Structure 1
Amino acid sequence: MAAPRIRLAAVDDLPRLPDIELAAAALFPEGDLPALLRLVSTPDSALVAAQREGRLWVAEHGGAVAGFALASRNRECGYLDEMDVHPDHGRRGLGRALVGAVQDWARASGLRSLNLTTFAHLPWNAPFYASMGFRRLEDRELCPLLSEALAAQRAAGLRQRIAMRQTF
């Protein structure tokens, strides 16, 4: 199997990303991701800004954009805000390669840590990130941004969400 091609997103890639995100959302059980949230994708303005700022990556498979990762930073901390792979291209290492690209960006940017929120109980979520060097955070370890993110996710109907961090 050929290694996935990961690159910074180009403007031409942006229209494909919402379809990937919505297709990936369909994999989640309805008890974890309420039906309404299955219809919502990252705002176009956020994708445009991330692409311009060099914090949006895409994975190519079979000549097509098949996944993406969106990151942000706040001072010395990085955040993996979104990572999705279209189910038609799953289980080929695209997600792992995308997270690796974000980890490389965080290290090269001199960030102290890379943080994320995810589902605790789904094998392609917390256990996946743990296999890539992230550890689950206790409530007392949460920075204000992660606390706010988890509270907003709970308010939106998401259950069993946790925060994870990798330090450099």
Structure 2
Amino acid sequence: MIRPARPEEAGALAALAERAYADYVPLIGRRPAPMDDDYAARIAAGQAWVLEAEEGGLAALLVLEPADGHLWLDNVAVDPARQRGGLGRALMRFVAREALRRGLPEVRLLTNERMERNLAFYARLGFAELERREEKGFRRVFMVAPAELLAASPAG
């Protein structure tokens, strides 16, 4: 079940982000931005969502921000113990349906250019690259996809 995160879960979201992004630290040479996000503030702003694990705890998190004409996916993180099981696709379908529910036709995101696995995953889902640029010391790749296309993405 994907639902809004609760205030008491801020620490659990931060811990999940630590686990999910840990392998990227040596790859990009520094901590990815989601590792240092203020999850209490994200929860208070209604931007943080979680996927509960069947056995309890959190399997994944999302940070969504409404923007001008699109839904900004600021962060999607799946617990490493649960990766490669289709949760990423399910989360992206949820994001797309949430965009459509809000009347926003597109989903946009960014990832680090060295996160090649992420770039390939987003491309398979139908995201197109908008631009690459350095921002806050990170080499970022900005991407966009039509929400309708993502919402119809097959499972698995």
- Work out whether the TM-score is over 0.5: yes
Unaligned runs of 5+ in 2: 148-156
Per the TM alignment, residue 20 of structure 1 is displaced from its structure 2 partner at its CA by 0.6
Per the TM alignment, residue 67 of structure 1 is displaced from its structure 2 partner at its CA by 1.1
Offset from partner CA, 1:104-140 (integer Å, 9 cap, x none) = 110111113111011345343111112222111146x
1:97 lines up with 2:90 in the alignment: yes
Unaligned runs of 5+ in 1: 140-149
Quote the sequence identity (%).
29
Name the residue aligned to 1:41: 36
Matches of 1:26 and 1:85, distance apart in 2: 12
* Count of aligned pairs between the two proteins: 146
Name which structure has the greater RCO, CA cutoff 8 Å, separation 6+: 1
Name the residue aligned to 2:104: 111
User: Would the aligned equivalents of 2:48 and 2:61 in 1 still touch at CA under 8 Å?
Assistant: yes
User: Would the aligned equivalents of 1:23 and 1:86 in 2 still touch at CA under 8 Å?
Assistant: yes
Name the residue aligned to 2:52: 60
TM-score (norm 2): 0.79
1:165 lines up with 2:144 in the alignment: yes
Question: SS at 1:30's partner residue?
Answer: helix
User: Would the aligned equivalents of 1:25 and 1:38 in 2 still touch at CA under 8 Å?
Assistant: no
Matches of 1:10 and 1:70, distance apart in 2: 13
User: Would the aligned equivalents of 2:110 and 2:141 in 1 still touch at CA under 8 Å?
Assistant: yes
Q: How does 1:104-143 map to 2 (within 5 A)?
A: 104-138=97-131
Matches of 2:142 and 2:34, distance apart in 1: 24
Offset from partner CA, 1:4-50 (integer Å, 9 cap, x none) = x322323333220000111111121524141x558942113432234
Offset from partner CA, 1:135-157 (integer Å, 9 cap, x none) = 11146xxxxxxxxxx542xx32x
Matches of 1:166 and 1:38, distance apart in 2: 22
Name the residue aligned to 2:10: 14
Distance 1:101 1:74, change over 3 A: same
Question: SS at 2:24's partner residue?
Answer: coil
User: Would the aligned equivalents of 1:68 and 1:85 in 2 still touch at CA under 8 Å?
Assistant: yes
Offset from partner CA, 1:78-114 (integer Å, 9 cap, x none) = 1000111121222222222222211111011111311
1:77 lines up with 2:70 in the alignment: yes
Name the residue aligned to 1:144: none
Question: SS at 2:36's partner residue?
Answer: coil
TM-score (norm 1): 0.74
